Amino acid sequence: MDIRSEFGQRIRELRARSGMSQEMLAYRTGLDRTYISGVERGERNISLVNIEKIAAALQVSVAYLFSNERFSATPAYQPKEFTVPFLERFQYKLDHEKKILAFTVSGLLTGKDVDHMNATLMGICSVFGKGELTLFVDHRDMKASDGEPAVYSPEVAERAVVFQQNLLRYSSRAVVLCNSEFQVQQLNHVTRESGIPSIHLYGQDKEMVGRAYELLGIHGNELIKAKK
């Protein structure tokens, strides 16, 4: 496989795991859909300027486009991803003593799911003062029905910015366990937009969870633990 085909496959994978069509990626880059299609088929000698546009649309760095992390090119965010109701995939727990609000989500999110989390968690946060809470978030199981990691869709990413801006009133910082380096890249972008101080971790599970505990100044959490 030559470098153009390899790069095109990489773009197809990242687009698919973001729940984006070629039309949506074209819109977000300002490029024509036929151009995006040609890039993905390895038929274009893409310029550095357009590589930068695609990276920005995917909410990753240019360097990440050339990393070794690979995914399935199967599109995520299909209707079958949402057969299990969101309320069965969303859990949260407040540690009153440590003032840590932990929450986990398995599977994928819709914009309405983010709005529901916002309403639920803001109800808990509202009894605290500004900056009193720390957030502990677990996205390790944010996977599509094929078992492969996925990241926020564009709609979810936009809602997440608003969600985090609301949380910023009560939270001094957040620590997030991620399902991939791709998700770290995307959440870095989201938190730059929202302004919430946030640390995004990805790596070997036990080490990642241990690092999160260290950052939070705790020895364990009732909801979020290392996987066996």
Task: Give the model confidence (pLDDT) of 23-58 as tens digits.
Answer: 999 999 999 999 999 999 999 999 999 999 999 999
- 200 and 97 in a common domain: yes
pLDDT for residue 132:
93
226, part of any domain: no
39, 130: one domain: no
Asked whether 79 and 20 are in contact (CB, 8 A), the reply is no
99 in a structural domain: yes
The answer on 205 and 175 residing in a single domain is yes
93 and 193 together in one domain: yes
Report whether pLDDT(224) > 90.
yes
Q: Give the model's pLDDT for residue 169.
A: 87
Query: Distance of alpha carbon 8 from its chain centroid, rounded?
Result: 22
CA distances for 219 relative to 42, 55, 59, angstroms: 49, 38, 33
Residue 47 contacts residue 10 (beta carbons within 8 Å): no
Cut 0.85: pTM above it? yes
Range of the domain at 139: 83-216
Dihedral sign, CA of 106, 109, 112, 115?
A: positive
In a domain, 130, yes or no: yes
* Spatial separation of the C-alpha atoms in residues 135 and 154, rounded to whole Å: 23
In a domain, 56, yes or no: yes
Residues 200, 112 share a domain? yes
Helices (H), 82-152: 111-125
119 and 211 in one domain?
A: yes
Please tell me whether residues 9 and 119 are part of one structural domain.
Answer: no
What is the pLDDT at residue 38?
Answer: 97
Assess whether pLDDT exceeds 80 at residue 181: yes
Contacts of residue 99, Cβ cutoff 8 Å, sequence gap at least 6: 128, 132, 133, 134
CATH number at residue 33: 1.10.260.40
Q: Does 103 share its domain with 199?
A: yes
The pLDDT of residue 1 is above 90: no
Q: What is the pLDDT of residue 172?
A: 83
pLDDT tens, position by position, 51-108: 999 999 999 999 999 999 999 999 999 999 999 999 999 999 999 999 999 999 999 9
- Answer yes or no: is 75 within a domain: no
Looking at the chain, how many residues does it have?
228
Q: Are residues 44 and 117 in the same domain?
A: no
Mean pLDDT, range 130-144, rounded to an integer: 95
Mean pLDDT value across residues 7-29: 97
Q: What percent of the chain has pLDDT over 70?
A: 100
Domain count for the chain: 2
Q: For residue 225, tell me if it sits in a domain.
A: no
Q: What is the pLDDT of residue 85?
A: 95
Question: What CATH number is given to the structural domain containing 93?
Answer: 3.30.750.24
Say what percent of the chain tops pLDDT 90. 89
**Left, alpha or beta for 190 (phi > 0: left; psi -120 to 50: alpha)?**
alpha
